[in-house]
Amino acid sequence: MKKMLKRLCTGFLALATVVTALPTTPVHAESKQYWTESAERVGIIEKVMNDGSIGSTFNEGYMKVEGETAYCIDINTDFKNGYKTRTDASSRMSADQISDVALSLEYVKQYGEAHKELNYKQVYLLEQCVVWQRLSVHLGWQCDNVRASYDEIPKATQDEVFAGAKAFVKENKGRYECGGYIYSGEGRNWDNSGRN
């Protein structure tokens, strides 16, 4: 249990984004800048809208902050490599949003460890999708069913993971203290975002 709590906290500490469209509150940001990058493509994402249509498809990158795994928290904003400023996630996200994202990520991490047939790119795609799914519900993006292309990860696997993550969140809500950081800023221009 203690190990899981530590993983929840450290796993979510890597939650990151760039130039988000989430509501902002003026906060004092650290003066230190953190290098964020998406140097490797991991697979195709399909932004499935709540009406069943596909709003867009794009080749998602593996995001990192100072070499640590990170996740985008705004599906509607293109990523740019560069230096970002760090703020506490609680300055831009509610405790409920943070908990939903952290618990969903924990479930997918456990699933990935138990299913060695999935490679690290597939696990990252599943992690990124649950982040966007949970935030779409909270923020009204109307893409609650965003997914990896079925060519990347079979439908049955994705259905199992996404249903399991929702159940895990419901079962564990309020049991753990969750937190993280948001990294924001333009960074340098990067034209190979892969989004269309």
Residue 56 resides in a domain: yes
Write the DSSP symbol of residue 52: S
Is residue 112 within 8 A of residue 9, CB to CB? The reply is no
Residue 193 resides in a domain: no
Residue 189 resides in a domain: no
State in Å, rounded, how far the first CA of the chain is from the last one: 42
DSSP, collapsed to helix, strand or coil, labels residue 183 as strand
**93/182 Cα distance (integer angstroms):** 9
State residue 31's pLDDT score: 65
Residue 194 resides in a domain: no
User: Residue 67: which domain range?
Assistant: 2-184
Write the DSSP symbol of residue 91: G
**What is the mean pLDDT of the segment spanning 16-27?**
40
**24/145 Cα distance (integer angstroms):** 25
∠192-92-106 over CA atoms, to 5°?
75
**60/55 Cα distance (integer angstroms):** 15
For the chain, percent helix, then strand, then coil, each to nearest 5?
A: 35, 25, 40
**188/56 Cα distance (integer angstroms):** 24
**77/185 Cα distance (integer angstroms):** 12
**145/136 Cα distance (integer angstroms):** 9
pLDDT per position as a tens digit, 49-104: 999 999 999 999 999 999 999 999 999 988 889 999 999 999 999 999 999 999 99
pLDDT per position as a tens digit, 101-135: 999 999 999 999 999 999 999 999 999 999 999 99
Q: Indicate if the alpha-carbon torsion angle 61, 48, 140, 194 is positive or negative.
A: positive
Per the structure, the count of domains in the chain is 1
**126/146 Cα distance (integer angstroms):** 10
pLDDT per position as a tens digit, 135-184: 999 999 999 999 999 999 999 999 999 999 999 999 999 999 999 999 99
Q: What is the pTM of this model?
A: 0.82
Please say if the pLDDT value at position 39 is more than 90.
Answer: no
Residue 196 resides in a domain: no
